Structure 1
Amino acid sequence: MKKLLFITATLFSFFAYGQLPSSDQNYIKNTTYKVPTTVTPNPTDAQKTQSITYFDGLGRPIQQIAKAQSATAKDIITHIEYDGFGRQTMEYLPFASQQNTMLFMDSNTLKQEQATQYQTWYGDVNPYSEKRLENSPLNRVLEQAAPGNDWAMNNAEKHTIRFDYQTNVANEVKLYKATATWVPAKGLYEIALVNETGSVYYEPNQLYKTITKNENWKTADGDKNTTVEFKDKEGRVVLKRTYGSSIINNAETAAWHDTYYVYDIFGNLTYVIPPLVNTSLVITNDVLNDLCYQYQYDYRNRLVEKKLPGKQWEFIVYDKLDRVVMTGPALSPFTDLTGNGWMITKYDVFSRPILTAWMPGTVTSTTRKTNQDNRTSATLLNESKTTSNTTVNYVGFMYTNLSLPTSDYHVLTVNYYDNYDSGLLFSPTISYSVIHGQTLHNNTTSKPIGLPTVSWVRVPETSTLYKHEKSYTLYDTKGREIRTYKNNYLGGYTQTDKKLQLITGRVDFTETRHKRVTADAEIFVKDVFTYTDQERLLTHTHQIGTSGTPQLLAKNEYDELGQLISKQVGGTDTTTFIGLQKVDYSYNIRGWLKSINNINALAQSGNPTDLFAFKLNYNNVENESVYAGTKLYNGNISETYWRTNNDDVKRKYSYNYDELSRLKNAVYQRPEDASPLRDSYNESLSYDKNGNIKALQRNGEYDDVNYAFQIDQLEYTYHPTKHNQLMKVVDESINPNGFKDVANDKDDYSYDANGNMTIDNNKGITAITYNHLNLPTKITFGTSGRVEYLYNAFGSKVKKSFFKSGVFLPTVTDYLDGFQYAKVASAVVKLDFFPHAEGYVKNTVVGSANVYKYAFNYTDHLGNVRLSYGLNSENVLTVLEENNYYPFGLKHENYNVTKKEYDKYDGEIDLRGCVNCSYKYKYNGKEYQDELGLNMYDYGARNYDPAIGRWMNIDPHSDTYFSISNYGAFVNNPISFIDPTGKDILFWRVNQKSGEWEQVKFNQLDKNIQKGIEDFGKTKAGYEFLSSFANKGDKIGSLSFDKDGKYSNHDLQLNQVEGETGYEGRTNSPVIRKDKITFGINLNKDIESPQVNVAETLGHEAFLHQMQTLDGIISAFKKGGAGAAMDYDLKDFHSNPSGYKDHLALKDDVQGRAKRYFTYISQLKTVLNPIEVQKVVNKDIKKSYSVGVQDTPKKR
């Protein structure tokens, strides 16, 4: 009765506003309005979003319909069915029906129409995934088949993922342990590895063993293409094992690649032993220090000391509230202060970071203990707002200065909350008037309580200079950001206003106003967005100046399921929206990108000739008689093709990978030539067990049918004990192109104690100086010159100065909120260019006026800029530059190399040839730095050398990827991966071949995971959570996002895990880097009742755990940088270990920690069967409360 009453009440609430659903079916109908019903009592389909779920007699969902959500406003339907045991073993892809009535469709008719539709779209009649479960109450997955004929369960070639569940056997897994001995003088538990000889093994049947065979696995492969994971009885991973060939003792050898995880008696992760460690030998202290990860804890289980491979020990100090208040060693941010010091964080009473600073001093285990003792005995822990300035080292801030330290530190950032009383003066002053009709959240009755409002960020030069940036954020009455304003360190500013849709919050337009310095004329830029009825981005126009002609950036077209299939780009036609280029996209049945334009024909009827075309193959290869490529079924790319209008030649790479998904060979071809196999730009590599490149061969310079010229034959030599640190590269080829090898007997490279490269003899780099974030501040090239960098305290680059020997004045580049300025020697500073969504705007100064010209970029699947184009003075579409790359990023030379940029010529602006063009954003969309032969890409956190495929610094993310080198790039698969940009919601799963996490598209996830995320997003709370990380135009299944979320500069990773037992989901510790934070939630696809459980689990992780600290940690990051965010996170980690407070709150919620979760659950019951939801919730409460009791810290 309760179910029927609930459903009936839900239905009646919507009867007045739309057609009646099928009256002979159980259903729940959900309506979200986009306009106030007080204004529009009967909204149209365009003014509301509706969905309905039909249920069978057992209360199980059997059909889901999204009303009018196809591109032609038809219903999108997802069919759900069960086997005889009530298990959902087949999961159907959605399809676009011919109705828009939300009426229930008979399953036979539905499947027939769906099969016809997918045959038409993809040439495929297998529009569903399928699972084979074991015949036991555990219902563990034995085999998983993806959509598509090639992945079907009944395909004779078997390209499925297969699982095998076992226990360990004798002499299979080494039994490493760690002792933890309390040392009062150090204030920590000192660790020591037990069984360092590796002679003791786990007894048989003591570990759970899960073998996963990926979609490429064949019977003949044996252990290849498998991942084996061993867990102990507490569910902790003790060993991850993969099998493949690496360079071992100077020979390529097939072997296990083992990563061991070692815990102390309190369950803390203490050691991680990566594959490069030879566990057949004794693991000495030198091996531990040079190759392994080590972690030491205090009596409260707080991480206080850690060591990463190749880096010195790091130290952490906490206050009595378990907040991180000191970390070190940190290099000096200032040019006049040398040596190490401590990063300091101060908090207010709400544990919000209000100040960060650097304090010089000795940083050792001893000084950590001293500082910890001082903090433990301190009674003054928090700072509070004042009405006058407190000054420390000549920097004023409107807070008290009571918590330690109270002197000797140099302020880097100050953060203000709740109001705008910061004492900072802005020019122009802050105006609290209405912004584009939007009332501000700041008046006599409404204040932005709990929101960050004002910040002060230093731009460190010398310690006696106090240049800085200051900014504020204004909000509407819903707490949504509608204005950001920043005074830069030169005195200018950037202000961005947003006009938001009243209810949905989508961005209708933005207005940006910018000056470099106060005396400059203001630059005004307006972006205007329109949307389809399904809230997908339809058009995007761009206007410079209040009276400028709007430029078309994009007119999008979508297929029936909402995938982008074309966009018109460029030009001034904002009426019919015909662009300079029409860019077409196609996908396979799994949603993987297949092509950009038509690789076989650039000329298109009714549209301008395409300037660029690109194609990807995965599970098929072409021209096999020429070169026998490898068909790949696990998402790896087997082939890429490209063609440009420069010479209209079709080119191709075929790729081969090893068993660990590392790129082995890239073979270059010209398929339409009489002799296709050119080998002209081949690249081949081999690796050690940690993925360090051991050898690289590269051809190049000539695209010739008769000869392939080898330009690189590189042999890599590593440090004798720190095996991840490259010491020397020798080029055995006689060609001077490619890698530049300076022949000598010395090591090529040197490093500092933090693992930063300080010398590169091949490039002539004699010294590199770093700041507190391990970013280079000065690179010295002997007597040839130097390059200097200036950053703000967060690590954002604001200036680059290039000094060349013999030239009196430097070449200076300013980086100001995307606006890039150039000053060459004594010339006047000029705006060079600034970006837009499809390329950039190039500026040329004529007299005293700026003349703007639009350039547009074609990018491939990795964001590599492949071709730039624009209109010349005669309005002819012209290619500015073409870029084609080797897999690891070096650029192809000697074909299609002409480069042009806009410049003055005969009194007008036209395209002129340039040798060193100013726009240098190329590989992965990153800036190429070629001054004095530096030839590295700046990725923000680190610099990358494409000639050798390595970074010049240790990955700050390295203790997330234990099994690979912390200098290696792109998991050695640069065809599929790039360094994360921090601009997307990311989906990850374990690559079943390599055992490593890989980023995937949403529709590559398990269908239950997909559905659970979509169900989560159909609730108001869930959609708000996802949209806070989304970018404008993002799409997750049927969910779309029409604005940049407030956290869109950070990452949300939703990770699919499988083959694991004992948990449904997990909130991962945030990964904090200098430019962003990555928040992660694991979702286990092998769980009971996945239709409901995934959505409930995601809500549990998001609202019971993640949201407890999300705003705080991002606020800390925004105001105090990575150090402050880490402090905040570690404070929470140690005050709420394993989230025990959250779990206890499910039954006894004194602090309101579970309020968000239960609000979400009430909303989820309108999306899914409420009885089934409550069953899962009851089970979750029981289990989680029990876990919370167990995890409550015990004094030891």
Structure 2
Amino acid sequence: MKKQWISLSFLASSVFVFSQELPKSENYIHSRVYLEETQETNAAKKQLETVAYYDGLGRPKQNIGVKASPKGRDVVTHIEYDEFGRQAKDFLPIPQSGTQAGRIYDSPLSNASSIYGNEKIFSEKILENSPLNRLLGQIHQGNDWQNHPIRIEYEANTVSDRVKKFKTVTQWNSGATLSSLSQEGVFSSSSLYKNITEDEDGNTSIEFKNGQGQVVLVRKFNGSETADTYYIYNEYNQLAFVISPLAAEKANLTQDDLDRLCYQYRYDGKGRLVEKKLPAKGWEYMVYDKLDRLTMSQDAGQRAKKEWLFTRYDRFGRVAYTGIATGESRAVEQANINLTLSNHVERTSNAGFTQNNMKVYYNPAIGGEISYPKNIKKLLSVNYYDEYPPDAPAAPENILGQPLMASAPAGGKSTKSLPLAVYLKNIENDDWSRTFTYYDQKARVIGTLHHNYLVGYTQIQMELDFAGVVQKTHTYHKRDPKSPEVKIEERFVYDHQNRLVKHFHKINGRNEELLLENIYDELGRLSRKKVGGSEGSPLQEVDYAY
């Protein structure tokens, strides 16, 4: 038979290969994710190669990371099932003694002792022998955990559990739910699901759920002491109250108890959260536009000053700018925004308006109607997408030899849909900091330029390889016009699986220093870190044990 290769390439980085080199008697998926550029399947190229084998029922039975260990050995994860077809054991990955180029291992566990010693190499699920297959317990990997399992029991509540039964009566007030709370004794027996969990340290918690699957009570134990947290729903099945353990101890809850110790939530007719109160904190209000986007929010401090924190969006739902506006009550603001036909802003090439010493290149008036809110008092941030704003500095043609993606379409590529600039206002005054982001031809970030409010800057340039991994960075920092510029050069070295091995650092052209050197065990875990100094003579060594 003629040998055939079928390759599917995604973003020029991953290829799925089906060949006759692997056993024909097995079901498998053979994949290669190339870390170096290639036009065809090439085993010599740096890559992440895996083979997933499946049994006759389509269930995974063995996963192989080909040459995945630091020494180039295969790393195999064994999968097995019990007599009912359930995966009750989860095995740790096991590095093999060498590589079989993706071929299945007949005895994948034989090399386990050389890696893990006499430790137990799998976690174990204790499953209920019923069609429900409910989890009754779990034992983690390692010998130390064998006498410390997680235990789970499934029961129904009894009257002796003393689960308080709360009732809400909900009215509508200013377009929002207003629920009053009262207690009606305790839940009768077998009216709630009761799930008991004991963790590895013997700590017990009980979760009670109603017939709709809603959590009613979480009870945690500390010896003989209990801490109860109640979750109370209104007539519309919306979470209206969360009763904290301290409040749950009280026989009768007053409104003062609710305000100081509990969480309270109110909703509008669309089920949107419009008012909430956290313990010992004032009410917070939210206003939404017709697209259910949060447009305005207000805390108690802002309410005293009739101020709202607002967000305006562009036509794609992206945040255009935020700030503080003046306004009235939540009900009034919600009614006003409901009358707004279109509540987005349009990007402009000329300044749409100026606020707080900042020209904003958005037009808030669409079709003669100003987007909501209308009474802007202060801007806080401005975001630009698709094209750099007119006041942005000229972008370089390339960064570290990598051509930049331009705003104007070229070869079917442009910065359209990408976030390009963020302006943030200084809290104390009307000075602004500005951050610009630059992309390569694959829309990957390769540089940023940050102008601070002191008229200084920080510029970061990155060189990426084919897989998008940073190979080196250049950072230029100047605090203000009077400060000297500092240049920091960093260089990174990776192994064949793109694990960071070495990180070099150089300041202002001085001698290069080795910041760190990482050494990994055969499972890819960091086993030793060498810090500072030079190669072969670190200032510090840190060993890691697992």
Same fold (TM over 0.5): yes
Q: Spell out the pairing of 1:905-984 with structure 2 (5 A cutoff).
A: none
Aligned match of 1:529 in 471, 492, 495?
A: 492
Q: Spell out the pairing of 1:297-316 with structure 2 (5 A cutoff).
A: 297-316=267-286
Structure number having the greater strand percentage:
2
- The residue that corresponds to 1:212 in the other structure is 197
Return the alpha-carbon distance in structure 1 between the equivalents of residues 314 and 391 of structure 2. 19
Return the alpha-carbon distance in structure 2 between the equivalents of residues 55 and 104 of structure 1. 11
Give the C-alpha shift of residue 396 in structure 1: 2.4
User: Do the aligned residues in 1 keep the contact of 2:325 with 2:373 (CA within 8 Å)?
Assistant: no
SS at match of 1:270: strand
Which amino acid counterpart does residue 533 of structure 1 have in structure 2?
Answer: H
Q: Spell out the pairing of 1:362-401 with structure 2 (5 A cutoff).
A: 367-389=329-351, 390-392=353-355, 394-401=357-364
User: Do the aligned residues in 2 keep the contact of 1:316 with 1:368 (CA within 8 Å)?
Assistant: yes
Return the alpha-carbon distance in structure 1 between the equivalents of residues 24 and 34 of structure 2. 23
Aligned match of 2:384 in 402, 413, 416?
A: 416
Give the C-alpha shift of residue 125 in structure 1: 3.1
- The residue that corresponds to 1:347 in the other structure is 313
User: Do the aligned residues in 2 keep the contact of 1:295 with 1:305 (CA within 8 Å)?
Assistant: yes
Return the alpha-carbon distance in structure 2 between the equivalents of residues 306 and 99 of structure 1. 60
SS at match of 1:272: strand
Aligned match of 2:229 in 255, 259, 264?
A: 259
Which amino acid counterpart does residue 483 of structure 2 have in structure 1?
Answer: D
Q: Spell out the pairing of 1:759-774 with structure 2 (5 A cutoff).
A: none
Runs of 4 or more consecutive aligned structure 1 residues displaced over 4 Å after TM superposition = 7-13
Give the C-alpha shift of residue 151 in structure 1: 2.0
1:280–1:302 CA distance, 2 compared to 1 (3 A): same
1:497–1:240 CA distance, 2 compared to 1 (3 A): same
Which amino acid counterpart does residue 372 of structure 2 have in structure 1?
Answer: L
Return the alpha-carbon distance in structure 1 between the equivalents of residues 267 and 79 of structure 2. 49
User: Do the aligned residues in 2 keep the contact of 1:170 with 1:203 (CA within 8 Å)?
Assistant: yes
> Quick check: 1:406 aligned with 2:374?
yes
Give the C-alpha shift of residue 408 in structure 1: 4.3
Return the alpha-carbon distance in structure 1 between the equivalents of residues 197 and 181 of structure 2. 30
> Quick check: 1:447 aligned with 2:409?
no
Which amino acid counterpart does residue 377 of structure 1 have in structure 2?
Answer: L
- The residue that corresponds to 2:12 in the other structure is none
Aligned match of 1:555 in 497, 501, 517?
A: 517
Aligned match of 1:135 in 115, 122, 129?
A: 129
User: Do the aligned residues in 2 keep the contact of 1:509 with 1:527 (CA within 8 Å)?
Assistant: yes
Give the C-alpha shift of residue 577 in structure 1: 4.2
- The residue that corresponds to 1:497 in the other structure is 461
Give the C-alpha shift of residue 322 in structure 1: 1.5
Which amino acid counterpart does residue 84 of structure 1 have in structure 2?
Answer: E
User: Do the aligned residues in 2 keep the contact of 1:330 with 1:341 (CA within 8 Å)?
Assistant: no
- The residue that corresponds to 2:242 in the other structure is 272
* Percentage identity across paired residues of the two chains: 38
- The residue that corresponds to 1:235 in the other structure is 213
Give the C-alpha shift of residue 228 in structure 1: 0.5
User: Do the aligned residues in 2 keep the contact of 1:178 with 1:265 (CA within 8 Å)?
Assistant: yes
Which amino acid counterpart does residue 374 of structure 2 have in structure 1?
Answer: T
- The residue that corresponds to 2:149 in the other structure is 160
User: Do the aligned residues in 2 keep the contact of 1:330 with 1:340 (CA within 8 Å)?
Assistant: no
User: Do the aligned residues in 2 keep the contact of 1:116 with 1:125 (CA within 8 Å)?
Assistant: no
Aligned match of 2:322 in 353, 356, 365?
A: 356
Return the alpha-carbon distance in structure 2 between the equivalents of residues 41 and 260 of structure 1. 59
List alignment gaps of at least 5 residues for structure 2.
9-14, 365-369
Point out which structure has higher relative CO (alpha carbons under 8 A, 6+ apart): 1
User: Do the aligned residues in 2 keep the contact of 1:171 with 1:201 (CA within 8 Å)?
Assistant: no
Which amino acid counterpart does residue 390 of structure 2 have in structure 1?
Answer: G
Which amino acid counterpart does residue 231 of structure 1 have in structure 2?
Answer: K
TM value normalised by structure 1: 0.42
Give the C-alpha shift of residue 15 in structure 1: 6.1
1:505–1:456 CA distance, 2 compared to 1 (3 A): same
- The residue that corresponds to 1:112 in the other structure is 110
Give the C-alpha shift of residue 329 in structure 1: 2.5
1:10–1:167 CA distance, 2 compared to 1 (3 A): farther
Give the C-alpha shift of residue 388 in structure 1: 2.2
Return the alpha-carbon distance in structure 2 between the equivalents of residues 193 and 331 of structure 1. 27
Per-residue Cα deviation, 1:3-56 (whole angstroms, up to 9, x for no partner):
xxxx9968997367xx92344433221111222323x76342x61111112222
SS at match of 1:258: strand
How well do the aligned residues superpose, as a CA RMSD in angstroms?
Answer: 2.3
Which amino acid counterpart does residue 538 of structure 1 have in structure 2?
Answer: V
User: Do the aligned residues in 1 keep the contact of 2:205 with 2:221 (CA within 8 Å)?
Assistant: yes
- The residue that corresponds to 2:11 in the other structure is none
Which amino acid counterpart does residue 564 of structure 1 have in structure 2?
Answer: L
User: Do the aligned residues in 2 keep the contact of 1:320 with 1:376 (CA within 8 Å)?
Assistant: yes
Give the C-alpha shift of residue 304 in structure 1: 0.9
SS at match of 1:374: helix
- The residue that corresponds to 1:174 in the other structure is 164
Return the alpha-carbon distance in structure 2 between the equivalents of residues 213 and 521 of structure 1. 60
User: Do the aligned residues in 2 keep the contact of 1:71 with 1:560 (CA within 8 Å)?
Assistant: yes
Return the alpha-carbon distance in structure 2 between the equivalents of residues 61 and 396 of structure 1. 58
User: Do the aligned residues in 2 keep the contact of 1:96 with 1:561 (CA within 8 Å)?
Assistant: yes
- The residue that corresponds to 1:1166 in the other structure is none
Return the alpha-carbon distance in structure 2 between the equivalents of residues 97 and 62 of structure 1. 17
Return the alpha-carbon distance in structure 1 between the equivalents of residues 210 and 473 of structure 2. 54
> Quick check: 1:323 aligned with 2:293?
yes
User: Do the aligned residues in 1 keep the contact of 2:284 with 2:300 (CA within 8 Å)?
Assistant: no
SS at match of 1:37: coil
Give the C-alpha shift of residue 585 in structure 1: 1.0
Give the C-alpha shift of residue 436 in structure 1: 1.9
Return the alpha-carbon distance in structure 1 between the equivalents of residues 448 and 356 of structure 2. 29
1:139–1:408 CA distance, 2 compared to 1 (3 A): closer
Per-residue Cα deviation, 1:235-285 (whole angstroms, up to 9, x for no partner):
11111001126xxxxxxxx32210000111212111000111144510111
263-272 or 406-415, which moves further after superposition?
Answer: 406-415
List alignment gaps of at least 5 residues for structure 1.
1-6, 153-157, 218-224, 246-253, 333-337, 588-1196
SS at match of 2:144: helix
Give the C-alpha shift of residue 455 in structure 1: 2.0
Return the alpha-carbon distance in structure 1 between the equivalents of residues 342 and 80 of structure 2. 62
Count of aligned residue pairs for this structure pair: 525
Q: Spell out the pairing of 1:327-338 with structure 2 (5 A cutoff).
A: 327-329=297-299, 331=301
Which amino acid counterpart does residue 131 of structure 1 have in structure 2?
Answer: K
Return the alpha-carbon distance in structure 1 between the equivalents of residues 125 and 49 of structure 2. 31
Return the alpha-carbon distance in structure 1 between the equivalents of residues 537 and 111 of structure 2. 34
1:340–1:494 CA distance, 2 compared to 1 (3 A): farther
Give the C-alpha shift of residue 578 in structure 1: 2.9
Which amino acid counterpart does residue 532 of structure 1 have in structure 2?
Answer: D
SS at match of 1:582: strand
> Quick check: 1:507 aligned with 2:463?
no
Return the alpha-carbon distance in structure 2 between the equivalents of residues 13 and 519 of structure 1. 56
User: Do the aligned residues in 2 keep the contact of 1:393 with 1:408 (CA within 8 Å)?
Assistant: no
